[in-house]
Amino acid sequence: MRASLQTKVDRTHRPLAAVRRCLFECYVALSMRLGLVLQFGHQDEIDFRAGLSQGGMARINAVLDEIDARTAAATLPSDLEMILLEIEGSMGIEEFNEMIRDGVLSEYRTLARKALR
């Protein structure tokens, strides 16, 4: 049986902010090969469609390029440092970033398919 960490992203929690806030949870899920599913909220779907019509894939790629665990925030700086060291020591920051980008891109594709129906 396959499990996954699901993160619901709504208007007040933009995708990048959600990834920053649940950095450790994302890391644990990915390091345990549980998978990661991001689900955007209703307003984010509307914003995505508007953004796609205004900037196309260039705008989406710009958002994806901004995803970087090193820009995460934590209540305690020592927590962030510990999490980043753990990620770097196991899978590497760049591989982690790519996995998160893939999750966000997957949700963008789901929204795009939904819009075509």
**How many angstroms separate the CA atoms of 83 and 116, rounded?**
39
Instruction: Please give the pLDDT value at position 21.
Output: 57
pLDDT per position as a tens digit, 82-108: 999 999 999 999 999 999 888 888 888
Q: What is the pTM of this model?
A: 0.73
Residue 92 has what pLDDT? 96
- Write down the domain spans for the chain: 5-116
Would the pLDDT of 17 be above 90? Answer: no
